[in-house]
Structure 1
Amino acid sequence: MPHETVLDPLDRRLLNALQVEPRATWTALAPVVGADPATLSRRWQRLHEDGIAWITGRFGGATLPGAAMIEVECAPRRVEETAAALAEDAEVLVLDQTAGSRDLLVTASCGSIDALGEYVTGRIAALPGVRSLRTHPWIDLLLEGGDWRLRALSDQERLALPAVPPPRPRAAATVSAPLREILRYELAVDGRATAAAIGERWSVSPQRVVDAIATLRRSGELRLRTDIARRWSDWPVYAWYFIEAPASIVEQLRTELGRVPQIRLAALTASRYNLMLAVWVRDLAAIHTFEVAFERAAPGARIQDRSLVMRIVKHMGRILDENGQATGRIVPYEPYPGQAPRAPHSA
């Protein structure tokens, strides 16, 4: 499918708006994006069904306990087999097949350092295709991938978009464990799932669903993100950077790296490389331009290694095809497998 026929300027404006507020109504987005609500709804449905864009709800706040980047070197001709096995693991959030000094880069979240150690040594190291691995536990996220934006809207237009709705004054201050689990499942499958649809599937009132989502978003426990298949983003070249940065500039990096538009994610790690960056650029030639911008933003930091991503196998739980488009499979969840069970009355 030719690139130009997939994402036109209106598509990009819509996706940029949904990156800012993923659950905004079509009516609220219409005057900013520049199309009527019905058109926006049809556009999103096409983009979502084609696997070009998707919205994911993630629980756990801004940091992920027991998270790490794991470099995996595979035996010759066993890279795809190993990737397919790892993609089925609930612990694996993102799985990239790369060129360079490693074959696979696994972003894993295991809940604790102990669980991470057990996963690395008991699961990954035991796979027959694995020859060696290196683990880089995350200390902190300076920039999160969900905060990366297209630049289809002006600053003024972005400011005109609806804000995240706060909880109602009468909403419950806490969300019950059963309802939290319902939302963990539903919003992983579809971050725009309506309160009415969720309530009908699980026998919960839509108002309770609305209140719970608002409460969880305000607390930071629930974060929503709109992602776009890399090849359709205008930033199709994806690379990971492994960096040694002086500890004295870390706090400065929280601000400065946000000014480098190519950086999608920046993680502080407890390893030889104390800073890792996920970077999207327009073409290979732009790699040099990015590196110049990074050196200006991070004086004293040294790029020690880099790996070009050849294929994204899994992204935020979603299995992607060879074009980087969502297939509809979500591990550990599946979109409404069979008859969805009813929620407990205590939800």
Structure 2
Amino acid sequence: MRLTETDFELVDALQDDVRRPWTELARQLGRSPATVRRRWHSLQEAGAAWFSTYPGPGSGAEFAVVEVVCAPEDVTALASRLAQHPKIMTVSEVTGDIDLLCWVVAEDMTVLREVIRHGIGAAPGVRAVRDAPVTSLYSDGSQWRAGALPGSHHARRTGGSAAAAELSRSIAEPRMGRMTRRLEQDARTSSGALSEELALSPAHTRRLLTRTLQGRILTQRVDLATDGSLFTHAMALHLSVPLQELDRVAHRISRLSDTRLCAAVAGERHNLHVVMWLRSLSGAKAAEEAVLRDEDIRVRGRRTVLHYHKRLGHLFDDAGRHTGVVSWVPSGSVPRTRSR
């Protein structure tokens, strides 16, 4: 399914708040609630767009960018294996001197180390692993906008209140785990259904859900299939930025319309990791020029994404079709099937 400009308007509206009532979305878009709801369900059923729910910067979780080298003949099998690991949230096949680029999210440094050393490093076929823990997450795909609505380029979101910090200590505990798992399956699940899942009163559940999302303990967003949208390519840049300029440069890059991810990392040769979405590979030069902008920035790595095997828990086949979800919660995977 090819997304239309009207579809991108719907995506941008939902990006502001995945759980907004259909009536509010309809008023903003100038359509009926039934039309808006029906179109979203069509996009979802076709695998052209879907909701993602995942631990956010207010969760207290640890994030890391991990590069993996293997033999060429092992790439597909290794990617499939790593994609089944709940804490390896994203597995992308890339160009350059590495084969796979992974995004790992773990409850704490102990779990992060276990995932990198054993979940990835000990996997059959792995020849080398280079990891760079994230020290600051400046922006991710929840702030990205297609630019279809006025003023919709890159929303600024802040996370982390005192209440959120208190909640974040329990992100891996059973109640938060059940909430995470339920919202991974259905990002718009009702507070009534959640209250039954959590064995809490509806009022308590609504307060807990509001604090969880506003504090970015959990982040929700709309994701698109790259084979059906205008944004068919992705490029990852590893940059070296003078330490005293890092915050300023990272905030500037985060505001660029092509930026999907901007994170400061503790890398050996680089300290900023950036992912850009491109309409075509011919746009890579202009996108990189916008990132560098005559500043004292050095490119230490430049990689084109050949294929997403997994993106924020969501799985894809060789044709890029959405095939299922692996829950971040350790108890296993949540199958999601659909007819094509």
Give the TM-score category using the shorter length: 0.7 to 0.9
Residue 294, structure 1, aligned to residue 306, structure 2: no
Give the corresponding residue for 2:144.
Answer: 148
Q: Is the 8 A contact 2:132 2:266 kept in 1?
A: yes
What is the distance in 1 between the residues matched to 2:153 and 2:95? 39
Residue-by-residue CA offset, 1:59-100 (whole Å, 9 max, x unaligned): 353476432111111113111111111011111011101111
- 1:12 counterpart (8, 14, 18): 8
| Residues 179-188 or 32-41, more deviating | 179-188
User: Shift in Å at residue 35 of structure 1?
Assistant: 1.2
Q: 1:309 to 1:64 in 2, by over 3 A?
A: farther
CA distance in 2, matches of 1:149, 1:106: 23
**CA distance, structure 2, for counterparts of residue 157 and residue 254 of structure 1:** 16
Question: Deviating runs (4+, > 6 A) in structure 1?
Answer: 156-159, 173-176
Greater radius of gyration (CA): 1
Task: Tell me the distance in 2 between the aligned counterparts of 1:202 and 1:120.
Answer: 32
Aligned counterpart, 2:306: 310
- Secondary structure of 1:224's counterpart equals strand
CA contact 1:63–1:141 (8 Å) conserved in 2: no
Matched, 1:235 2:231: yes
1:258-308 residue CA offsets vs partner (Å, 9 max, x unmatched): 332111101111112111111111111111111111111x71011122111
Match among 204, 210, 216 for residue 206 of structure 2 = 210
Within 5 A, what are the aligned runs for 1:245-264?
245-264=241-260
Q: Percent identity?
A: 29
Aligned-pair RMSD on alpha carbons? Answer: 2.7
Aligned to 1:280: 277
Q: Which amino acid aligns with 2:100?
A: L
How many residue pairs get matched? 320
> Are the structure 2 counterparts of residues 312 and 215 from structure 1 closer, same or farther at C-alpha, using a change threshold of 3 Å?
same
> Aligned with 1:137: secondary structure?
strand
**Alpha-carbon distance change, 97 to 157 in structure 1, aligned in 2, over 3 angstroms:** closer
Distance 2:139 2:153 in 1: 23
**Following TM superposition, by how much is the alpha carbon of 1:183 offset from its aligned partner in structure 2, in angstroms?**
1.2
CA separation in 1, counterparts of 2:152 and 2:231?
Answer: 23
- What does 1:1-347 align with in structure 2 at a 5 Å threshold? 3=2, 7-62=3-58, 65-155=61-151, 178-199=174-195, 204-271=200-267, 272-296=269-293, 299-332=295-328, 333-335=332-334
Gaps of 5+ in 2: 158-165
What amino acid is the match of 1:212? L
Higher mean alpha-carbon deviation, 46-55 vs 197-206, is at 197-206
Aligned position for 2:163: none
**Structure 1 counterpart of 2:276, which letter?**
V
Q: Cα gap change, 1:174/1:78 in structure 2, threshold over 3 Å: closer, same or farther?
A: closer
Q: TM (normalized to structure 1)?
A: 0.84
Question: What are the ranges of 5 or more consecutive residues in structure 1 without an aligned counterpart?
Answer: 164-172, 338-347
* Closer, same or farther: CA 174–77 of 1 in aligned 2, 3 Å: closer
1:181 positional shift: 2.7
Equivalent position amino acid for 2:42 in 1: R
Find the aligned partners of 1:306 and 1:156 in 2 and give their Cα distance.
28
> Which residue of the partner structure matches residue 160 of structure 2?
none
Distance 2:282 2:58 in 1: 33
Q: Distance in 2 between matches of 1:125 and 1:280?
A: 29
Taking the aligned partners of 2:243 and 2:129, their CA distance within structure 1 comes to 26
- Answer yes or no: is the 8 Å Cα contact 2:134–2:266 preserved in 1: yes
3-state SS of paired residue (1:327): strand
User: Normalising to structure 2: TM-score of the pair?
Assistant: 0.85
- Check 1:131–1:245 CA distance in 2 against 1; reply closer, same or farther (3 A cut): same
CA contact (8 A) 2:13 2:25 kept: yes
Tell me how far 1:34 sits from its aligned partner: 2.0
Secondary structure of 1:155's counterpart equals coil
**Cα distance in 2 between the residues matched to 1:88 and 1:305:** 27
Once the 2 structures are TM-superposed, how far is the Cα of residue 49 of structure 1 from its aligned partner?
1.9
Retained in 2: the 8 A contact 1:74–1:103? yes
Q: How much has 1:157 moved relative to structure 2?
A: 12
Q: Which moved more, 1:240-249 or 1:215-224?
A: 215-224
